[in-house]
Amino acid sequence: MRPSARKWRLASSFPRESNRRATVEAAEAMNGDASQKAEVTVPDAVDLEAEFRASNVQEVLDQLDRELVGLGPVKTRIREIAALLLVDRVRRRLNLTSETPTLHMCFTGNPGTGKTTVALRMADILHRLGYVRQGHLVAVTRDDLVGQYIGHTAPKTKEVLKKAMGGVLFIDEAYYLYRPENERDYGQEAIEILLQVMENQRDDLVVILAGYKDKMDRFFQSNPGMRSRIAHHIDFPDYTPEELLAIGKLMLAQQNYRLSPEAEEVFKDYIRRRMQMPHFANARSIRNALDRARLRQANRLFASRGKPLTREQIMTIEPADLLQSRIFRETVQPPG
Ligand SMILES: Nc1ncnc2c1ncn2[C@@H]1O[C@H](COP(=O)(O)OP(=O)(O)OP(=O)(O)O)[C@@H](O)[C@H]1O
Ligand SMILES: [Mg+2]
């Protein structure tokens, strides 16, 4: 897409802008016949605060703070990216042209650390600031992009790209696209198509690669072209036991449940044990544990259905609902 088209879109997503016409004319002048001088009025100053308010990005940032526990460094990076985009938008209005910033990102971290959740919010921010037309997120893995037979990969990858255009393409465990052990692997074909689109259509599509840090590092070593197209690398740390407890309480509160004080102590013990088990997946493990606790609570309430139940009782997870977990049979209490 030519720069003029890009400018148009940025301007057109904010129709109340008084100098929209000027921006469009300026863009046309830059790309059109240089001898034909266009009438351009560019403001001398802009109100960054007003721009920020008009974008409603604060809403997403607040929601991020409210609904996601911890993740301090991730939230900081997102605020930084939002600031960059906002300033870039304002610069365009002042006719201070620069290239469209590359916005492709890489989210690394262990399972359940919030990568998909944050990617969804990121898509929203990019949309509010006019960087993508729709702000939807298409999440895929290797199997969605790579075919089984010769000639299948290109149409598959292109179909996914078509769906994601105007939004964010989230590729989970992106490194599986590259299989060095298999010389004729079709993944390479998908990578090449992606690289091309990431370069040529970066003003209409943002790609976020996600996965484990070490595997992603190795992937980038073998695919420097991919690395060079990623502007933002964001690392998602594992949660501390305290953060996991806070996440659990937040998840329960969102569904009108709560832990009794005794159950909270049991849940702290549960978390420490679960963290040492195989396949521990941070916040996802917490969510799963609480789903099972709700099931047991429902069974417990149902078993005593002869007696009337208070609202409080129906809302409360008790120790018994947690202690039936196999975690307590299969692990010893960790120290601390
Ligand atoms: N910081 C957090 N605060 C509250 N809830 C969280 C937080 N991080 C993750 N969750 C919740 O945990 C679950 C898993 O998160 P998410 O799917 O975003 O993780 P992920 O890193 O994409 O995991 P995977 O690598 O397994 O795909 C979701 O239900 C999400 O809402
Ligand atoms: Mg995920």
3-state secondary structure of 11: helix
Q: Which residues surround ligand 2, an ion (CB under 5 A)?
A: 116
Residue nearest to atom 17 of ligand 1 (CA): 116
Task: Compute the average pLDDT of residues 51-64.
Answer: 88
> Is residue 115 in contact with ligand 1, taking CB distance under 6 Å?
yes
- With vertex at residue 199, the alpha carbon angle to CA 17 and CA 55, rounded to the nearest 5 degrees, is 25
Which one of 75, 78, 110, 116 would you pick to mutate in the ligand 1 pocket, going by the greatest count of ligand atoms within 8 A of its CB? Answer: 116
Task: Write the single-letter amino acid at 73.
Answer: P
> Is residue 260 in contact with ligand 1, taking CB distance under 6 Å?
no
pLDDT tens, position by position, 155-187: 999 999 999 999 999 999 999 999 888 878 899
pLDDT recorded at residue 4? 38
Strand partners, 330: none
Contacting residues for 104 by C-beta, under 8 A, at least 6 apart: 198, 202, 206, 207, 208, 209, 229, 230, 231, 232
pLDDT tens, position by position, 246-302: 999 999 999 999 999 999 999 999 999 999 999 999 999 999 999 999 999 999 999
> Is residue 247 in contact with ligand 1, taking CB distance under 6 Å?
yes
Confidence of residue 40 (pLDDT cuts 50, 70, 90): low
Measured between alpha carbons, how far is 113 from 91 in angstroms, rounded to an integer? 35
- Give 87-141 as a DSSP string: HHHHHHHTT---PPPP--EEEEESTTSSHHHHHHHHHHHHHHTTSSSS--EEEE-
3-state secondary structure of 68: coil
**Greater pLDDT, 27 or 47:** 47
pLDDT recorded at residue 29? 46
H or E element at residue 168 = strand 168-172
In terms of Cβ atoms closer than 10 Å to its own Cβ (0-12, 13-18, 19+), residue 182 is exposed
Burial 68-94 (b: 16+ CB within 10 A, else e): bbbbeebbebbeebbeebbebbbebbe
3-class SS shares of the chain: helix, strand, coil, % to 5: 55, 10, 35
Beta strands at 316-317 and 168-172: parallel, antiparallel or unpaired: unpaired
Query: Which two structure tokens, joined as six digits, stand for 79?
Result: 């605020």
The secondary structure of residue 171, as a DSSP letter, is E
Residue 259 φ then ψ, to 5°: -95, 140
Task: Compute the average pLDDT of residues 38-46.
Answer: 72
Q: What's the CA-to-centroid distance between 79 and ligand 2, angstroms?
A: 21
Which one of 64, 238, 284 would you pick to mutate in the ligand 1 pocket, going by the greatest count of ligand atoms within 8 A of its CB? Answer: 284
Report yes or no on whether pTM surpasses 0.75. Answer: yes
Measured between alpha carbons, how far is 81 from 231 in angstroms, rounded to an integer? 10
> Is residue 113 in contact with ligand 1, taking CB distance under 6 Å?
yes
Q: What's the CA-to-centroid distance between 56 and ligand 2, angstroms?
A: 26
Name the maximum alpha-carbon separation found in the chain. Answer: 89
> Is residue 110 in contact with ligand 1, taking CB distance under 6 Å?
no
> Is residue 292 in contact with ligand 1, taking CB distance under 6 Å?
no
pLDDT tens, position by position, 208-246: 999 999 999 999 999 999 999 999 999 999 999 999 999
Mean per-residue pLDDT over the chain, rounded: 87
Q: Where are the alpha helices (DSSP H) in 167-208?
A: 187-200
**92 close to 10: Cβ distance less than 8 angstroms:** yes
> Is residue 287 in contact with ligand 1, taking CB distance under 6 Å?
yes
Lowest mean pLDDT among 34-48, 75-89, 144-158: 34-48
pLDDT recorded at residue 99? 80
